[in-house]
Amino acid sequence: MWLELLKDFFLDLKAHRTRAMLTLAAITWGTVAVVLLLSFGDGLGTQMMNGLLNAGDRILVVYGGETGMVHEGLPKGRRIRLLEEDAELLDRIVPAIDMISPQYRKNITLTYGKYSVTTECEGVNPFFEEMRRMYPAAGGRFLNEMDVVLQRRVLFLGEVIAKEIFKDEDPVGKTILVDGVPFTIIGIMQKKIQTSMNNGPDTRRAIIPYSTFKTSYGSTFVNSIVIRPTDPGKQAEVKSDLYRILGRKYKFSPDDERALGIWDFIEGEKISRRIGLGVSIFLFSVGFLTLLIAGVGVANVMYVVVKERTREIGIKMAIGARRRYILAQFIFEALLLAALGGVVGLAISYGIVSVVRLLPSDDGAMQFLGKPILSASTTLLTTGILTLIGLLAGFFPARKAASVDPVESLRYE
């Protein structure tokens, strides 16, 4: 039966080449539209998410604020300034904290030979590497625990500022002056994209141990405390503990949200994922409508085929062909048309995506657009849509064909 259906399909294809080619072109174009829109949407969403996580990977940045409520007889409007010991206190008491680091910040002057540049310096601990994705390039390293304990004068530099200072030289191991004091460069940050930042990108940062920072500049208060929960789902629990524990120490109400400022990257990630999903749904809708129009074209072609082959259908039914055979014949032809167009469309889309992924994406718009991603889910979704369109485009014409009266059809001209 299936061989007969296949034979009939290719005979009809040969007899009406132009019509068949135009129908296949419509399906192919619709498939390309769906696949490319979803692929570029996935690439954009992934790149934007990476940009956010490169600024802070599932972290909370806690700042001292100003009390907004009267508490235990103390007036509102009191300034809360956090200490290095607060990080140790929270790490010891809050079980849901995985990583924590005090964060000192200050503008400094870096001098190498005759070249000087001002940039922002941060005093942190080794956990900062993972929390802020400050991964070292080959040949270097980030801060370690001994750097903190021994208050070493070591420096980790952002990739862009290192390039400005050292040009084509390898900076690792070289000595540079930090506000006139010699520091040894231990590593250079890998290149990364950021879509969120505070006082400039990490690629222009200078990083030193927080113990060295405190000794060098005599800082009493930290600028912030960076925290990563053991599980992003425990974000609310950690926030509640922060207000409760620090509220008890600094005498403010645990309900006073103004007493602490919290930059919540976990919430930002959730919002970013929802935006990405919305963009993907919009792009899919545009592509789906294009493919649906192609499906309507297939249905129209099948109706024309039914009309042209009315006598043939009548003869088949007169000599004993069953209704389900006639149904199967036209549904099969519609599905095969959709499948052929879909295969060609997927092949073209794969070629375009592969070529675009080879283009450099370090600079310009491409670094924000990202590289398109032709995922298995995109392929399966497109295949499912093509199958559905093929079934619908074939079913209604097939039903009309199967309802033909053999006697009347033999009189049809």
Q: pLDDT for 76-105, tens place per residue?
A: 899 999 999 999 999 999 999 999 999 999
Nearest to 394 by CA among 312, 295, 311: 295
Q: Assess whether 242 and 98 both reside in one domain.
A: yes
DSSP string over 88-104: HHHHHH-TTEEEEEEEE
Residue 210 · residue 148 · CB < 8 Å: yes
71 in a domain, yes or no? no
Q: Which two tokens stand for residue 298?
A: 């297939």
294 in a domain, yes or no? yes
Q: Which two tokens stand for residue 261?
A: 């400022």
pLDDT digits (tens, 9 = 90+) for 195-233: 777 777 899 999 999 999 999 998 889 999 999 999 998
Tell whether the model's pLDDT for residue 191 goes beyond 80. yes
70 in a domain, yes or no? no
283 in a domain, yes or no? yes
pLDDT digits (tens, 9 = 90+) for 130-166: 999 999 999 899 999 999 999 999 999 999 999 999 9
Mean pLDDT, rounded, of the chain: 84
Range of the domain at 373: 2-53+270-410
Q: Which two tokens stand for residue 156?
A: 């980790």
Q: Where are the beta strands (DSSP E) in 31-86?
A: 60-64
Handedness of CA 26, 31, 32, 33 (dihedral sign): positive
Q: Assess whether 402 and 302 both reside in one domain.
A: yes
Confidence of residue 128 (pLDDT cuts 50, 70, 90): very high
181 in a domain, yes or no? yes
The mean-pLDDT minimum among 91-100, 234-243, 295-304 falls in 295-304
The mean-pLDDT minimum among 144-148, 231-235, 270-274, 389-393 falls in 389-393
Q: What percent of the chain has pLDDT over 90?
A: 44
Q: In the block, which residue shows the tokens 């003869």?
A: 315
| d(C-alpha 327, C-alpha 344), whole Å | 26
223 in a domain, yes or no? yes
Looking at 202, 220, 251, the residue that finishes a domain is: 251
| d(C-alpha 173, C-alpha 168), whole Å | 15
Confidence of residue 192 (pLDDT cuts 50, 70, 90): confident
Confidence of residue 364 (pLDDT cuts 50, 70, 90): low
Q: Assess whether 85 and 222 both reside in one domain.
A: yes
Backbone angles phi, psi at 32, to 5 degrees: -60, -40
Q: Assess whether 198 and 108 both reside in one domain.
A: yes
Q: Assess whether 290 and 401 both reside in one domain.
A: yes
Looking at 220, 251, 282, the residue that finishes a domain is: 251
Q: Assess whether 403 and 307 both reside in one domain.
A: yes
Query: What CA–CA distances, in Å, run from 32 to 39, 374, 388, 397?
Result: 10, 12, 17, 26
The SS3 call for residue 42 is helix
> What is residue 147's predicted lDDT score, i.e. its pLDDT?
96
The mean-pLDDT minimum among 33-47, 65-79, 118-132, 391-405 falls in 391-405
Q: Assess whether 90 and 221 both reside in one domain.
A: yes
Q: Assess whether 121 and 224 both reside in one domain.
A: yes
Q: Assess whether 88 and 47 both reside in one domain.
A: no
Domain count, the chain: 2
Nearest to 407 by CA among 308, 327, 311: 311
Q: Assess whether 241 and 282 both reside in one domain.
A: no
| d(C-alpha 195, C-alpha 20), whole Å | 48
60 in a domain, yes or no? no
Residue 159 · residue 171 · CB < 8 Å: no
Average pLDDT value for residue range 54-82: 91
Residue 120 · residue 200 · CB < 8 Å: yes
29 in a domain, yes or no? yes
Query: What CA–CA distances, in Å, run from 218 to 8, 126, 156?
Result: 88, 21, 21
Q: Assess whether 293 and 348 both reside in one domain.
A: yes
Q: Assess whether 203 and 329 both reside in one domain.
A: no
The SS3 call for residue 224 is strand
Task: Give the predicted TM-score (pTM) of the model.
Answer: 0.78
Query: What CA–CA distances, in Å, run from 124 to 119, 139, 162, 210, 232?
Result: 16, 21, 19, 4, 22
The SS3 call for residue 412 is coil
Q: Which has more confidence, 147 or 42? A: 147
